Amino acid sequence: MKRRAYLLLLLFLTGALYSCVRNEEAGPITHLAFSGPLISARTTMVTAWEFPKNPLSDSTLDDSRLSNDIRWGFRLFTNTPIEAPQFVPGKISCSNCHLNAGQRERALPLIGVAAMFPEYNRRSGRLYTLNDRIVDCFFRSQNATGVTGGIQSKAQISLPHQTSKEVLALSAYITWLARGYEVGQSLAWRGQNVIAEKNRIAVEKLDRKRGEALFMERCVNCHGEDGQGVAIGEKKAAPLWGPDSWNDGAGAARIYTLAGMIRYMMPYTAPGTLTDEEAQQIAAFINSKARPVFPFKEQDYISEKLPADSVYYPKR
């Protein structure tokens, strides 16, 4: 406990210093900052273990089946490879990308989001329920299709589906995060992890060597030169590439999508200090690496145009 406190202080100080040097707007953070129902995007790793809404300690939840699912959903979200090993061959939890269990601003937050579904999904060209969306994150971001080390026969694999008990529990947790929100009402914090269209650099103009140099400067301390993640106290980032990472059909395998995450979430000790350009160069470097293959890519973007940054898809 003591070591963790020391470590947090150290991380906090380096983070605060860095933000002073690099970003005049973001002053040093003196207390746990909240932005509405979310943890502020300007805080550093000091808030890594904070959950504004934590079902494990929330006394309004009882002993009912639903309350138990909400609690299990939270545990699945924050510790997926342990809670659902049959679906997760890699080392990623949902909360690796949706920081603070989906409760941090500009880190793909999920507060209120359940009330936005069902919604049209461009990749699949059809209406998506929340459970469809969760299954997709399992398939792609968590590489569930890689459980057998590649698809040999469909019968051999246990893939998550819309009514798998794990998917229902995750859905219960995410729906709980939307209690009190109006159906279909747009949320100020949704869709903020984006690089504005006008600041996007054409994919062929991005320089992965520059991205690599920036990665070595700003990311290796925690992610390692091999991108596989270094333990920092009780936290360890998931592999950014290689067999244990997200697969090539994931949202994070798209350059602008990944850049939008990196731009506002990372470096963890100084979020918001990279420029749009730097975030894109780093994303181009990370997504030039080999990662598991999503076997159903040819079924994506059939009715919609293939996005320019889907670099792992064959050109159409």
Which residues contact ligand HEC by CB under 6 A? 45, 48, 80, 92, 94-99, 108, 110, 113, 133-134, 137-138, 141-142, 170, 174, 190, 218-219, 221-223, 232, 235, 237-238, 240, 246, 250-252, 257, 261-262, 266-269, 274, 282
Backbone angles phi, psi at 95, to 5 degrees: -75, -5
Least Å from the CB of residue 61 to ligand HEC: 19
Quick one: 33 or 153, whose CB is closer to ligand HEC?
33
| Least gap, CB of 48 to ligand HEC (angstroms) | 5
Q: CB of residue 56 vs ligand HEC: minimum separation in angstroms?
A: 17
Instruction: Give the closest residue to 247 by CA, choosing from 60, 89, 26, 110.
Output: 89
Residue among 63 and 89 whose Cβ is closer to ligand HEC: 89
Please, which residue, 153 or 313, has the CB nearer to ligand HEC?
313
Question: Using the 8-state DSSP alphabet, how is residue 182 labeled?
Answer: P
Q: CA 59 to CA 193: how far, in whole Å?
A: 33
How many angstroms separate the CA atoms of 99 and 93, rounded?
10
**How far is residue 295's CA from residue 34's CA, in Å, rounded to a whole number?**
41
| Cβ neighbours, 10 Å, residue 247 | 25
> What phi and psi, each to the nearest 5 degrees, are found at residue 208?
-65, -20
The candidate with the shortest Cα–Cα distance to 100, out of 28, 164, 40, is 40
What's the rounded Cα separation, in Å, for the pair 282 and 263?
10
Give 39 or 137: the residue with its C-beta nearer to ligand HEC.
137
For residue 171, the minimal CB distance to ligand HEC (Å) is 8
Cβ distance to ligand HEC smaller for residue 250 or 316: 250
Q: Which helix (H) or strand (E) holds 250?
A: none
Q: How far is the CB of 97 from ligand HEC (least distance, A)?
A: 3
Q: How many CA atoms lie within 13 A of 30 on its CB side?
A: 1
Minimum distance of ligand HEC from residue 92's CB (angstroms): 4
In the bound state with ligand HEC, the residue whose beta carbon lies nearer, of 63 and 302, is 302
